[in-house]
Amino acid sequence: MELWFTEKQTEHFGITAKVRETLVREQTQYQDLAIIDTLEFGRMLVLDDMVMTTEKDEFVYHEMLAHPALATHPNPRRVLVVGGGDGGVIREVLKHPDVEKAVLVDIDGKVIEYSKRFLPGIAGALDDPRVEVLVNDGYMHIHDHKNEYDVIMVDSTEPVGPAVQLFTRGFYQGIYEALREDGIFVAQTDNPWFKAELIKSVNRDVREVFPIVRVYTANIPTYPSGMWTFTMGSKKYDPLEVEESAIPEMDTKYYSPRLHRACFVLPKFVEDLLK
Amino acid sequence: MELWFTEKQTEHFGITAKVRETLVREQTQYQDLAIIDTLEFGRMLVLDDMVMTTEKDEFVYHEMLAHPALATHPNPRRVLVVGGGDGGVIREVLKHPDVEKAVLVDIDGKVIEYSKRFLPGIAGALDDPRVEVLVNDGYMHIHDHKNEYDVIMVDSTEPVGPAVQLFTRGFYQGIYEALREDGIFVAQTDNPWFKAELIKSVNRDVREVFPIVRVYTANIPTYPSGMWTFTMGSKKYDPLEVEESAIPEMDTKYYSPRLHRACFVLPKFVEDLLK
């Protein structure tokens, strides 16, 4: 028997991957969670039928959510990750030499539990002594902390289910207040081919809160369209003013000092979306 | 009844698109040709079961094969396109103000015929008076013309079927000789996620022929991994030395003067492939 997992990325288009076995499938308190072992991309975390991460291409998303902001802040000591229970962003955050403390707040403890068990190469960093893991509502955590973090990263699912409130102006305002006076915020903000309106509205909302707003992209094969956007809001530092020579060469596979400024140069149709 | 077209991009991974209708399906002398109408990407040209182009995302591939080389050459008057019978690259070539003559050589006249009929927005430029269309073997055409073209673009399928000989050192040597003394060559060279060895061997071969070799990428949602590479071989001009201000702003949707140098900055794992 051949088993194939198909994600309908839109109503009329999808990706399909041959599956060796299903490692876990569970309806958690918040979402439908599965980890499957695929022949092309290795183990794959799937939430509400959407591919969240795979062993083969996870490094792109995790590096590209973490490093552009960390390289922009001159001294990122305290970092918060909202969502991201698989631990991949935390692993990247800990590569930065300045980071003293990284807090992870994911609403779904099952994502953390099963990622540790079945995706140790991604989730292993959650056991680092610099990391505090909280199973909690990220929206509430943000609103309970003021002037505390240097960098806040939002590693959410798409705006369905528990992630809906993470795509609101009120959330961005809360993040602004949870950041120190020179803090930086970054979030994954979906793709411009199928979700142009979402990117536009997020961009508009973040601009109302942060004085410096920049969008960059990365190629993620298992995400819709293969091109993912990230939106950065900054109180003081502009990522485009960071010198390549000031960025440490780290143990990465996608991000590099050379890529730092180039990833902010957008295709024309994406530039036009943000006008 | 729901009809879905699935391309297995690798043995274990693919894309799937809902189909409204099949407009043409024919075994030509060279390949299995189909044009289908999909709900997400519009009309789609499929050769030997591989998506060649779609109405929704075709602009990326066609602009990005044509414009980086045209912007690098200070006066590209005579341009040759090998393959590309759908006419999309020719359409982009004609946007450049210096081009006086564009020659298209595709081995399969049926691709040209059906593209004109079913993909007029892409193939319409083939009727321009500056264009000469030849139904012929590109490999032979290259070897019959010496010192004639300013820019040669290879718009081939992947190296299966008739395109195998377009991925050989002998072909690149022929292109070198068909170019004028300051000519530039560019080819689509597949993706680094599933075809790393191909990119490495093409890069090695082109380096043996051309003194300046540069690789750049673009995001194409319907191509495997969503990230496509292009390899440029140049006798004299380096695309990285082109000033943004020297590039004309044209009627494009992906390429722009701002993107010209940024598209050559590669993710670290792709840099490593080319070392």
What number is the average pLDDT over the span B167-178? 94
Told to judge if A155 belongs to the known catalytic residues of this protein, a careful annotator would answer yes
pLDDT band at A58 (very low <50, low <70, confident <90, very high): very high
Kind of pairing, strands A179-188 and A149-155? parallel
- Tell me the pLDDT tens digit for each residue of A214-273: 999 999 999 999 999 999 999 999 999 999 999 988 999 999 999 999 999 999 999 999
Q: How far is CA A195 from CA A247, B82, B223, in A?
A: 32, 35, 19
The percentage of residues in chain A with a pLDDT greater than 70, rounded to a whole number, is: 99
pLDDT at B105: 98
pLDDT band at A121 (very low <50, low <70, confident <90, very high): very high
Q: How far is CA B239 from CA A16, B82, B95, B244, B249, in A?
A: 37, 21, 19, 11, 17
The distance of B196 to chain A (nearest Cα, Å) reads 14
Question: CA-CA distance, A17 to B197, in Å (whole number)?
Answer: 22
CB contact under 8 A, A252 and B268: yes
Q: Is residue A163 scored above 80 in pLDDT?
A: no
Question: CA-CA distance, B118 to B2, in Å (whole number)?
Answer: 22
CB contact under 8 A, A12 and B17: yes
pLDDT band at B72 (very low <50, low <70, confident <90, very high): very high
Question: CA-CA distance, B233 to B203, in Å (whole number)?
Answer: 9
Of A195-204, B18-27, B118-127, B160-169, give the lowest mean pLDDT range: B160-169
* Residue written as token pair 């876990």: A24
What number is the average pLDDT over the span A134-161? 92
Q: Is residue A168 scored above 90 in pLDDT?
A: no
B-chain residues near A266 (CB < 8 A): 259
Closest residue in B to A40 (Cα–Cα): B12
Report CA Rg, chain B.
18
CB B224 within 8 A of CB B194: yes
Q: Is residue B163 scored above 80 in pLDDT?
A: no
CB contact under 8 A, A12 and B40: yes
Kind of pairing, strands B149-155 and B78-83? parallel
What number is the average pLDDT over the span B173-186? 98
Q: Is residue A2 scored above 90 in pLDDT?
A: yes
pLDDT band at A166 (very low <50, low <70, confident <90, very high): confident
> What count of other Cβ atoms lies within 10 Å of the Cβ of residue A135?
15
Q: To the nearest 10°, the Cα dihedral for A219, A221, A225, A229?
A: -30
Q: Does an H or E element contain B112, and which?
A: helix B109-118
Residue B217 or A162, more confident: B217
B-chain residues near A262 (CB < 8 A): 261-262, 265
What number is the average pLDDT over the span B226-246? 98
Angle at B273 between CA A258 and CA B156, to 5 degrees: 105
Mean per-residue pLDDT of chain B: 96
Q: Is residue B257 scored above 80 in pLDDT?
A: yes
pLDDT band at A158 (very low <50, low <70, confident <90, very high): confident
Kind of pairing, strands B78-83 and B42-47? unpaired
The percentage of residues in chain A with a pLDDT greater than 90, rounded to a whole number, is: 94
pLDDT band at B263 (very low <50, low <70, confident <90, very high): very high
B-chain residues near A254 (CB < 8 A): 267-269
ipTM: 0.96
Question: CA-CA distance, A108 to B59, in Å (whole number)?
Answer: 41
The catalytic position among A57, A150, A155, A205 is A155
The catalytic position among B57, B155, B190, B205 is B155
Q: Is residue B164 scored above 90 in pLDDT?
A: no
Q: Is residue B160 scored above 80 in pLDDT?
A: no
Domains and CATH numbers, chain B: 3-54 (2.30.140.10), 58-273 (3.40.50.150)
What number is the average pLDDT over the span B124-134? 98
Closest residue in B to A264 (Cα–Cα): B262
CB A51 within 8 A of CB A222: yes
Kind of pairing, strands A13-27 and A32-38? antiparallel
CB A23 within 8 A of CB A36: yes
Instruction: Tell me how far the alpha carbon of residue A135 is from its chain's centroid.
Output: 17
Question: CA-CA distance, B67 to B96, in Å (whole number)?
Answer: 8
- Which residues touch B113 (CB under 8 Å, ≥6 apart)? none
Q: Is residue A89 scored above 90 in pLDDT?
A: yes
